[in-house]
A and B are shown apart, each in its own frame.
Chain A
Amino acid sequence: MYELEILLLVFWGSLTVVFIYNWYRYLFRLFKPKRKTINNLVLGLLPILILTINLITLKNLASFDVVNDGFYITFYVFMGFAWIYLFNKLIFYFYDISWIDDIITNGNYAALSAYVGAILGLTLIYAGANIGDGPGFWCVIVAGGIGVLLWFVLALLINKCTGILERITISRDLGSGIRFGGYLLSTGVFLARGSGGDWFNFWQTIIDFTDIWIIVPFCLIYLGIELYYKKQFENENIPTDITSSCLWATLLIILAISAVLYVVPPFKENPIYFLS
């Protein structure tokens, strides 16, 4: 097993180098006479934020054999960047939000807001999957993978009902971007909790996701909010209000954190790991 992990460390490490290199190369090399410095600053800080979230989780909440082991911390940090590298491409594929075209080239602030929420949501799901004890790295991939799958499906259903993604990338409606970014981040909080906890087996992992059943009414509330704004946007043909959108996004994030802390039951512990 250890040999496989060394091989994977090299693999994740290579993907991390490609990700970081391409990320900052675009930020610095792209010919940008429009000078959207906020976009560049936020995108420049994102990898640092991803690293910080993952490091804090790995040092404090990860499996007992990871928290104090430099090799495993490096392994999972690299895996975290590889995770973002892969799902960043899927954000473009499924959500049609391109960090190169929409954010850097077109300077679309709405896309920036949604994209930051998406990347942080994905990072939280990965960090959540690292919480608790488990027999190997594949537990993180399985639990986190289910979390990300649900995250994509829920957001696409929301888009099907509201057409929010078109308002973000084509209409460049900042309010929509802020609200959707808040939604993606807050569902990331729920699914981080769903992906976390000690590993039992595959079916138990699926069953554990029912602990976060509250994500369903949460999504319905968000759907109601978004339908209201959609109606306003289409009937009055004015950009949606930024202040109220910021308030809604903040409220969604607070609601998600509160629900995970006070409504969702605590992680189930697998007694097998006490013996280790």
Chain B
Amino acid sequence: MDEKNTSIELYKIWAPTDAKWSAWAKPAMFARPSNRITMNSYFYKQEIKEITYQHDTMIIVDLNGEQSVKAGIYLAELGYRPVPLFNGTKGPYNNIVNVEKLEEALYWGAQELINIYIRTDANPAFLLDKRRMKEYKVNGAYDNRWSIFPQDMPSADYLLRNHIKKVIVVSQNIENDLSHILCRYQEKGIEIYLVNDDGINPIEVSKPSKYKSLRYRVQVILGLKRNSAGGFGGVLPDAQTHSSGVGVRGIG
């Protein structure tokens, strides 16, 4: 089996073709052949006691890298379909967002998922990496920061059509990019809950700046580096080493 097929196989375990929410899964983190991944860590599922499977509920897990995956596996055991939305790639060196453990966790998670039965129409648990926009640009580093946009998640209409009336966000706080999505849900009457150290509480998401602006996505993407294999990731130019910066520029 060639390297490309091993990546596709791993991706298909996380996003089976027949699963309802697979259309939203991001393949960027799976682009590196899985047989090149070496497991250096031990992973175990992360419990979230406040959550049970409910037919009208969707989950968004916004924790640091591998913690999201570990929580995703726990939610899979509850009956949710974990959908990876990680859109940054792993660079050859000096990654701004360290995704090494996340990559390993996805590999571990795939092995766990094979043994878990999840209905094809099970409600989704979208997995995000909270560090996606946390770090700052460093010259010469591999800029694999990324952002989540309303286009990357199901619309409020689609959720309501699928009888989802409640969204639970597992995170310490709501990130700015996620609030663009949650605000749209809230406007359509979907209830938003936040699970953190204080337990599970309903929240009111306030409108972020540039909310519903047609220029919001393009302006965010202009500050990031696209990767030609998909997702985000590219070397930032460094004046000292004369690196021009490998990656795809521009918008479109």
Are B251's CB and A171's CB within 8 A?
A: no
Choose, from A31-39, A53-61, A65-73, A203-211, the stretch at the interface: A31-39
Choose, from A102-110, A120-128, A132-140, A194-202, the stretch at the interface: A102-110
Q: Chain A interface secondary structure, helix, strand, loop or mixed?
A: helix
- A93 CA / B252 CA spacing, docked (Å): 8
Are B226's CB and A100's CB within 8 A?
A: yes
- Is residue B250 within 8 Å, beta carbon to beta carbon, of the partner chain? yes
CB under 8 Å from chain B, chain A span 16-45: 22, 25-26, 29-34
- Is residue B26 within 8 Å, beta carbon to beta carbon, of the partner chain? yes
Are A31's CB and B150's CB within 8 A?
A: no
Residue in contact with A96 in the complex, picked from B11, B155, B160, B218, CB distance below 8 Å: B218
- A106 CA / B15 CA spacing, docked (Å): 13
Chain A min CB distance to B211 (Å) = 12
- A237 CA / B159 CA spacing, docked (Å): 10
- Is residue A229 within 8 Å, beta carbon to beta carbon, of the partner chain? no
Are B229's CB and A31's CB within 8 A?
A: yes
Chain A min CB distance to B21 (Å) = 13
Are A33's CB and B7's CB within 8 A?
A: yes
Are A170's CB and B30's CB within 8 A?
A: no
Are A233's CB and B151's CB within 8 A?
A: no
Chain B residues, Cβ within 8 Å of A238:
161
Chain A residues, Cβ within 8 Å of B229:
29-31
Task: Give per-residue flags for B23-36: 1 if the beta carbon is below 8 A from chain A beta carbons, else 0.
Answer: 11011101100000
Are A93's CB and B218's CB within 8 A?
A: yes
- A170 CA / B184 CA spacing, docked (Å): 10
Are B252's CB and A100's CB within 8 A?
A: yes
Q: How many residues on the B side are at the interface (Cβ–Cβ under 8 A)? A: 38
Are A170's CB and B150's CB within 8 A?
A: yes
- A238 CA / B158 CA spacing, docked (Å): 9
CB under 8 Å from chain A, chain B span 140-195: 149-152, 155, 157-158, 160-161, 184
Are B160's CB and A92's CB within 8 A?
A: no
CB under 8 Å from chain A, chain B span 57-94: none
Are B230's CB and A31's CB within 8 A?
A: yes
- Is residue A169 within 8 Å, beta carbon to beta carbon, of the partner chain? yes
Known interface pairs A29-B228, A102-B151. Does A107 touch B23 (Cβ–Cβ under 8 Å)?
yes
Chain B residue at minimal CB-CB distance from A160: B214
- A161 CA / B217 CA spacing, docked (Å): 21
A-B contact pairs, 28 of them (CB 8 A): A22-B248, A22-B252, A29-B228, A31-B30, A31-B31, A31-B229, A33-B15, A88-B252, A89-B250, A93-B218, A96-B216, A96-B218, A98-B217, A98-B221, A98-B251, A101-B149, A101-B151, A102-B151, A105-B26, A105-B231, A106-B151, A166-B212, A170-B150, A170-B151, A170-B184, A171-B158, A172-B158, A237-B161
Residues of B at the A interface (CB closer than 8 Å) are 7-8, 11-12, 15, 23-24, 26-28, 30-31, 149-152, 155, 157-158, 160-161, 184, 212, 214-218, 221, 226, 228-231, 248, 250-252
Residues of A at the B interface (CB closer than 8 Å) are 22, 25-26, 29-34, 88-89, 91-96, 98-102, 105-108, 159, 165-166, 169-172, 233, 237-238
Sample of 4 further A-B pairs with CB below 8 A, known A106-B151, A238-B161: A33-B8, A34-B23, A92-B252, A170-B155
